[in-house]
Chains A and B, each alone.
Chain A
Amino acid sequence: MRKVGIVGMGTTKFKARWVDKTYYELAFDAAKMAMEDAGIDRTRIDCAVYGIYNDFFQRQYQPDAFVHDYLGLGLKPMVRVNSGGATGGAAMRIGYSEVASGLYDVCLVLGVEKCNDCFNYESGVTTPEVLRAILYTADMTYDNPAGRTAASGFALAVIAHLEKYGNPTEEQMAKVSVKNHLNATKNPIAQSPKVITVEDVLNSRKIVEPFKFYDNCLYSEGSSAVILASEEVARELTDNPVWITGVGASVDYVMPGNRPNLYTFESSRVAAQSAYKMAGVKDPVRELDLAELHDAFSGTEIMAYEDCFFCEEGQGGRLIDEGTVLPDGRIPVNVSGGLIGCGHAVGATGIMQTYEVALHMRGEAGERQVKNARRGLVQSIGGTLCTWTICLVLEGDKS
């Protein structure tokens, strides 16, 4: 396998609504930024991987074909990836394979999502209809008719974890929400920068037990792109490449009846282990300088501390209490604001997280820059009770 580097990247702002752009127009903005960052034009791209989650959101089946056309990449190969919330991370993994395998030298990995064109006319807001579109990805015969949502699936896991280990408590979850909203105040692309208190979180309206409004990420519209290249091309294009040194993926049984328990996300543990093994990481807290973890809900960020081996199983709540995951802690988590603070533009999210970690590797993260950041982790999860997990280890060139 060949070494693969990130040579260019770009992202739009994550916003509630990009009413003035269609999904392929948004994708164009991110692709253009990434090409400019890499110092190349479209003719240099050999192939593309698109992360686009929900066809209902885009009001279009096979939206990838229309993105590909709009980016002027006709006659080049491409593939579209859809792995629920993990779509962006899954697209990164396929893009990595395209280059590492030797099939192609330069690959555009681009995620885009526009969810808030869905609209509930009765209430005059988008979210209930966005959730209805998502519910088509639950098992249509048995799960969909029960009226569950993505939030209730993850809430059930958090409750099972709480029953088993006594955490995460509502206060610990609230602290994660406060951290991620605050981190977002230093991120210019973030949708939800806010200075709030633990009490604000605890007093916000209930969504699904035990999550309150501020425990949830917001659905965003946005597009993020990175350009991957083989080592030879990467050296030619940039003097500051960011290498992908670890890739781990796992897909768990989607029907929880096939799982041994409901209180761990086994796919996350397997994916993290594989990525660490490939990158030679033995002690993650000591060897990683930052991590972008998939905090669709505050409680699942705490479970991710355990799943990424930042602590023993059942000890996740302690890491937020002790400040280990704060920007100045031993392993800062979601300096970008994460999904809660920066936003969740589903297909773009895993690529936005990659963008964030790579930005720190390049020393270009501005006022939120983690000092001397050399190595970072990206975790992208999705599906009922965390079906998919993809983990990436990124390393700067000087590490």
Chain B
Amino acid sequence: MNEQEREKWYQYHEAKYGIPVEYLKREYEAELSGQVPMDQPLEIPDKMEVFFKYSLGRQSRFFREIRENKTIYGARCTQCGKVYCPPRDHCSLCYVPTEWLPLEGTGTIKACTVQYFTTSAFIKKVPFICAYIQLDGSDFVMMTNMEVDDVSQIKVGTRVKAYFREERHGAITDFYFRPLE
């Protein structure tokens, strides 16, 4: 490919995949300028993506309550009394419907760790806390986000409270936990 063709190739792939031209140049300049022999492996950029209008089914209210009322709800089994949070429409053990139950938003850390390396989507946040928290009134633990200034202040047994973001989207990330003052 000549310089003009290469430039077109970069523009096309940047537009198609959202990969900045500088990164594409770093990875593909040798290939496109003919430095790689014909029989050597050829690598290509690609991306897999699917759009959704996803239904949250019987968990819908849980996310509306977070978005509209800053309240975390559990779901209580009408037979055994077990409280699920994340909620379930039916108790998985009794096979009977559950009922909605507002929770206080306070809880206890059951296990926690500090993440120093992670996926492309979260790498800019490290180090961050990854924890299982049991909310007061719930018989379940949930994997949660924590936002703390000092990762060393978090350990098993630490009491925590949910804080809601100003801008909420109806997602589990609309709230995060900090140690209870």
Contacts and interface: CB of A to CB of B under 8 A. Distances in A.
Contacts, number: 131
A217 to B, nearest CB: 14
A163 B157 CA distance: 11
Interface in A124-158: 124, 128-129, 131-132, 134-135, 141-143, 145-149, 151-152, 155-157
Contact of B119 (A124, A135, A142, A207): A135
Contact of B117 (A132, A146, A163, A208): A208
B139 A257 contact: yes
A205 interface: yes
A258 B113 contact: no
B3 interface: no
Contacts of A20: 40-41
Interface-central residue, B19, B45, B130, B131, by most chain A CB under 10 Å: B130
Contacts of B144: 146
Given A128-B119, A256-B141, 5 more contacts: A122-B23, A131-B119, A208-B115, A208-B117, A257-B141
Interface stretch (B4-12, B120-128, B159-167): B120-128
10 smallest beta-carbon distances between A and B, as pairs = A257-B140, A147-B122, A131-B119, A132-B119, A121-B23, A128-B120, A209-B114, A206-B116, A156-B111, A155-B113
A56 B139 contact: no
Interface of A: 19-20, 56, 59, 119-124, 128-129, 131-132, 134-135, 141-143, 145-149, 151-152, 155-157, 159-160, 163, 205-210, 255-258, 262
Given A19-B41, A132-B119, A147-B125, A159 B112 contact: yes
Nearest to B46: A59
B27 A124 contact: yes
24 contacts: A19-B43, A121-B45, A123-B120, A128-B123, A131-B118, A134-B119, A135-B119, A142-B143, A146-B143, A146-B173, A147-B118, A147-B128, A147-B130, A149-B119, A160-B110, A206-B114, A206-B117, A208-B116, A208-B118, A208-B130, A255-B140, A256-B141, A257-B85, A257-B86
